[in-house]
Amino acid sequence: MKKAKHIFAFFCLKDTYKIMKGIFPIDKFNNIETPFYYYDTKVLRETLDTIKREASKYENYHVHYAIKANANNKILEIISNSGLGADCVSGGEVKAAIKAGFPADKVVFAGVGKSDKEINLALDYNISCFNVESVPELEVINELAKAKGKVANVAFRINPNVGAHTHANITTGLAENKFGISMEDMDKVIDMAKEMNNVEFVGLHFHIGSQILEMDDFVALCNRVNQLQEKLTSMRIIVKSINVGGGLGIDYSHPNRKPIPSFAEFFNTYHKHIKLYPGQKLHFELGRAVVGQCGSLISRVIYVKEGTNKKFAILDAGMTDLIRPALYQAYHKIENISSDEPMETYDVVGPICESSDVFGKAIDLNKTHRGDLIALRSAGAYGEIMASRYNCRELPIGYIEEDLI
């Protein structure tokens, strides 16, 4: 039977659980060495269409894709063809964006530690803007741009001291974080830029965190931006652009029911609460919200091990393939896509020689056997891109839907 690309529900034999599982082309998967990443490009394209539709409701809203979330070249090409810009945080990401077809005038370069080599690379590509995070960085960009006879557009990343309801490791907008220029130093840095001949100050940049689901966090950022804009207007300064970063999260618990985040609510929150001046552009940098739900890590069960008090499903994928559970104690929905048998409870673990190589404990799966295919859902963001070769393991390959036709 041909496997369709949509969501379905089924009841287990005991009729005690209602399980939502994604349908995958299992017949194709059986011919591919596991573990690997699989990207549902229909979900990706529907997500991109939703972003464009909702952002276009508001004048001068511009969306960039955060390359760090997933730099698979085929994924990048689909996103660049949709018309989004690119947010980069390394020279390698700038190269990847240009290679995938993102226009240089839609590429911005952020990051707290840009090297001279990376800055020169971005200058040679004539990218749109550098998001500057310190005075020393501003001085270096001015010096390197002067050597090339160029003027670099710069926006200052301001640390707004705004918290976000998310994991501590992905909160970026507090005064204690390493990112950005303090609000107290903003005036001084702007004055310095005015005295430099090879940089042009064009905007302000903010980013408060990632995997944010509470709109009140974005409202707090809007209030802080409004406050800083009022201060600038008192100095007779109106910047060309405001970049509020990204941060919009996804529903890891229900990837089938909610494959596309509420972009309507996200953009409308900014529309209602941020005060833009005539002609100002508002930029967004979305990563996880763009690609998170389109990707799954596909693995096979190597062994089912009976422990003293529990059963282990040991996969051929490990923390080297998907590090988020080990790094952030992150949750990914786990599905046995080979079995429709009654549910049993397992600890789902990998083969890496680390106690933290655990994808989930006490996970209800359809009765699991050696060789079954397991899908770790919502793995399109910070999955393949963060894979490593620890234990001398091979890196997982990423396949898009069209590769398997």
**Together in a domain, 233 and 313:** no
The percent of residues above 70 in pLDDT, for the chain, comes to: 91
The number of folded domains in the chain is 2
Q: Which of 229, 259, 291 is the last residue of a domain?
A: 291
Residues 87-104 have pLDDT tens digits of: 999 999 999 999 999 999
82 CB contacts (<8 Å, ≥6 apart)? Answer: 45, 48, 49, 52
Look-up of token digits 């100002």? 280
Residues 207 and 224 both lie in one domain: yes
Q: Which CATH number covers residue 340?
A: 2.40.37.10
Domain identity same for 178 and 262: yes
73 & 120 share domain: yes
In whole angstroms, give the CA distance from residue 177 to residue 158: 12
Using alpha carbons, select from 96, 81, 91 the residue that is nearest to residue 41: 81
Whether 7 has a pLDDT exceeding 80, the answer reads no
Please tell me the distance from the alpha carbon of residue 159 to that of residue 217, in angstroms, as a whole number.
Answer: 14
Q: Pick the closest to residue 183 from 214, 157, 215 (CA basis).
A: 157
> Which of 291, 322, 339 is the last residue before a domain boundary?
291
Shared domain check, 22 and 96:
no
Q: For residue 287, what is the domain's CATH number?
A: 3.20.20.10
> Is 1 a domain residue?
no
With respect to residue 154, please indicate whether it lies within any of the assigned structural domains: yes
Residue 15's pLDDT band (cuts 50, 70, 90): very low
> What would you report as the CA-atom Rg of the chain, rounded to the nearest whole angstrom?
23
Q: What is the pLDDT of residue 19?
A: 62
pLDDT of residue 93: 98
Residues 328 and 248 in one domain: no
How far apart are alpha carbons 187 and 38 in whole angstroms? Answer: 48
Same domain assignment for residues 131 and 105: yes
* Over residues 119-138, mean pLDDT: 96
Residue 20 is predicted with a pLDDT of: 80
Q: Are residues 160 and 217 in the same domain?
A: yes
pLDDT in tens, 272-319: 999 999 999 999 999 999 999 999 999 999 999 998 999 999 999 999
287 & 329 share domain? no
What one-character-per-residue DSSP string does 293-322 give? GGEEEEEEEEEEEE-SS-EEEEES--TTT-
Does residue 31 form part of some domain?
A: yes
Evaluate whether residue 255 is within a structural domain. yes
Alpha-carbon separation of residue 116 from 109, 192, 214, 222, 386 (angstroms): 13, 20, 38, 33, 24
Long-range contacts of 389-392 (CB under 8 A, 24+ apart): 389/320, 390/319, 390/320, 390/352, 391/318, 391/320, 391/352, 391/353
> Are both 75 and 19 inside the same structural domain?
no
Q: Mark whether 119 and 247 lie in a shared domain.
A: yes
Residue 192 lies in a domain: yes
Residue 105 inside a domain? The answer is: yes
Residue 2 lies in a domain: no
Residue 246 DSSP code: -
Q: What is the pLDDT of residue 23?
A: 87
Q: 213 and 106, same structural domain?
A: yes
Enclosing domain of residue 248: 42-291
Number of Cβ within a 10 Å radius of residue 33: 10
Contact of 130 with 109, CB cutoff 8 Å = yes
Q: Which of 291, 322, 353 is the last residue of a domain?
A: 291
Q: Does residue 388 lie within any of the structural domains?
A: yes
Pick from 147, 260, 268, 154: nearest CA to 202: 154
